[in-house]
Amino acid sequence: MRSETRAKPSTAMDAGALRLERFLPYQLNVVATLASEALSRVYARRYRIGIPEWRVLVTLGQFGVMTGKAIGTHTHMRKTKVSRAVALLEKRKLLARRINRADMRESFLSLTAPGRAIYEELVPHALDFARRLTDILTPRDRDAFQRALQQITDRSAQLVAEAVEQTSAKANTSGNARDM
């Protein structure tokens, strides 16, 4: 008979211990991962697209025409992930690429008629999924959650900007020291 033992949390500095399951960034990541995986079941089989392709398709459906860089900014996806998703959607003729004549390095992306049809078919399923995800909350709790989520999103963006600024300042300081 096999005996399983659970690891006991460290008693050293328990008051200051970091408990991953209670750590807000981790909790948000778990929720995002589980929600994305559950939602992807809605479109993965039917349309043979993954999460990055879905995000690009929905973003273009929402905004019409965008550059890959703008899609990456809006979806918080890295350039390489956006590029791969765009290539797959383009290969499947779900989006079209038009070169920006003012800057030949970038292209304007938009959905083709088949891409638009998929988007329009997906929207009710995605909205229903979002409704089912939050229907356990009262309308008042849902509103409070939306406000809190927006505040956390705004604060996170602010913290990222501060970290970038500090990194740039340190790089400039160390660069100046090398120049002496």
Give me the domain span that covers residue 142: 138-174
Given this model, what pLDDT does residue 93 score?
97
Number of H helices, E strands in the chain: 6, 3
128 and 152 inside one domain: no
Given this model, what pLDDT does residue 9 score?
57
170 and 82 inside one domain: no
CATH number at residue 115: 1.10.10.10
Domain count of the chain?
2
- Residues 58 and 89: beta-carbon distance below 8 Å: no
**Could you tell me which residue, 42 or 136, shows the higher pLDDT?**
136
Q: Could you tell me how far CA 125 lies from the centroid of its own chain?
A: 19
Query: Which residues are paired to 98 by β-bridges?
Result: 108
57 and 113 inside one domain: yes
77 and 150 inside one domain: no
The reported pTM is 0.78
Q: Is the pLDDT of residue 138 over 90?
A: yes
Query: Which residues are paired to 111 by β-bridges?
Result: 95
